[in-house]
Amino acid sequence: MTETVLPENTAEQNAPRSPWAGLALTGAIAMAAFGLRYLPGLNLLSPLILAILIGMAVHNLIGTPAAAKPGVTFSLKKILRAGIILLGLQLTFAQVAAVGWVGVGVIVATLVATFFFTKWLGRQLGLDAKLTELIAAGTSICGASAVIATNTVTRGSDEDVAYAVACVTVFGSLSMVLIPVAETFLQLGPHAYGLWTGASIHEVAQVVAAAFQQGEEAGHFGTIAKLTRVMMLAPMVLILGYFAAKQANGKQAGGAPIPWFVLGFVGMVGIASTGWVPQVVEPWTTGLTQFLLAMALAAMGLETDIRKLAAEGVRPALLGAASWIFIVLLSLSLVSVVRTFGATLGVD
């Protein structure tokens, strides 16, 4: 009887592939991102942004090792979802109540209007619908976290995700610098100013940096307003997932994925709202959440080809800029109206 011998490369392809090499790589990049943020000049960037930048540098200068591919994919899927679920522990329903129904109304109106304005403008500019949707989500909700969460149902390319993250990073950083300067002339007051920062600036860290420049009261209110906006991530992803599944029905095998992990996010918000989680563990859960999301973005960077990113051209950047200007001005207009009737509405 003659024994059939598989070619060496076929045997390698059929062999079980371990994710540990890739997990070690994305974990190392995440640790490097957390370390680099303490260097002068880099402390303005969150570990999430630094992680995707390091991952892109590794992929485009050295190349992502083939042995790391399974772990990179695992980080993009499983680790990402775990991070988003744990993100819910940073929010409580009491925080939303502290913003008040008027503040929540400003946040929701700004978010929805910005999302649809960005989608509309993206069509006018002739941009890919998936890239447009990622920029819209990142600008209107919560920056890089919203981009990668939305992509679980949008299913854009890694280059689309990287470009959207770049947009929210650049323009969110500009808001972080310019909005405190504008407040010196506008004199909105701590609550109105905090609401403006929370409703308009992209990343949580950027909101904290901008809001606390006008004092503790403005800083706390801005942070709570921003976390309230982050809570909108769950319904937004569920709605987008519903429409993606509806559009995909009958067009592709399996259709669009259902973002069940978002229900885990909501569940964690519920747990945090009960007060069962001791305050002493809060820094650990927050740090773990950021680390897992940094691993996911490191994996995204390890899959991103800068040449493809450059091929997108300048139009996505124009969309990101227009979306940024829209959310800043709209939220300022709504906050100004609220401030005018502040004595009645209880916002300031």
DSSP 81-117: HHHHHHHGGG--HHHHHHHHHHHHHHHHHHHHHHHHH
Q: What whole-number distance in Å separates Cα of residue 287 and Cα of residue 270?
A: 20
Categorize the per-residue pLDDT at 248 as very low, low, confident or very high, splitting at 50, 70 and 90: low
Give which of 132, 162, 151, 131 is closest to 48, Cα–Cα.
162
Residues 202 and 244: their CA atoms lie apart, in Å, by: 24
The predicted-structure confidence for 333-348, as pLDDT tens digits, reads as follows 999 988 877 644 444 4
Q: Residue 44: its pLDDT value, please? A: 67
Task: Check residue 257 and give its pLDDT.
Answer: 53
For tokens 């129904």, what's the residue?
Answer: 101
**Position 325, amino acid:** I
291, 34 Cβ separation under 8 angstroms = yes
Residues of the chain above pLDDT 70, percent? 89
Asked if 223 and 207 touch (Cβ cutoff 8 Å), the reply is yes
As a whole number, mean pLDDT of residues 130-145 equals: 90
Question: Between residues 93 and 58, which one has the greater pLDDT?
Answer: 58
Task: Retrieve residue 300's tokens.
Answer: 């995204």
What DSSP letter does each residue of 164-199 carry, written as one string?
HHHHHHHHHHHHHHHHHHHHHHH---HHHHHHHHHH
The domain ranges of the chain are: 24-32+42-340
Q: What is the pLDDT of residue 26?
A: 95
Give the pLDDT band of residue 124 (cuts 50, 70, 90): very high
pLDDT of residue 8: 45
**Do 331 and 106 contact (CB within 8 A), yes or no?**
yes
What is the reported pLDDT for 253?
42
CB within 8 Å of 160: residues ≥ 6 apart: 128, 130, 131, 134, 151
Sign of CA dihedral 289, 290, 294, 297: positive
pTM: 0.72
156-160, 259-263, 265-269, 321-325: lowest mean pLDDT where?
Answer: 259-263
Tokens of 29: 């990049």
Beta carbons within 8 Å of 87's beta carbon, 6+ residues apart: 145, 230, 233, 265, 268, 289, 293
Report the percentage of the chain scoring pLDDT > 90.
Answer: 30
Q: What pLDDT does residue 23 have?
A: 94
- Mean pLDDT, the chain, rounded, equals 83
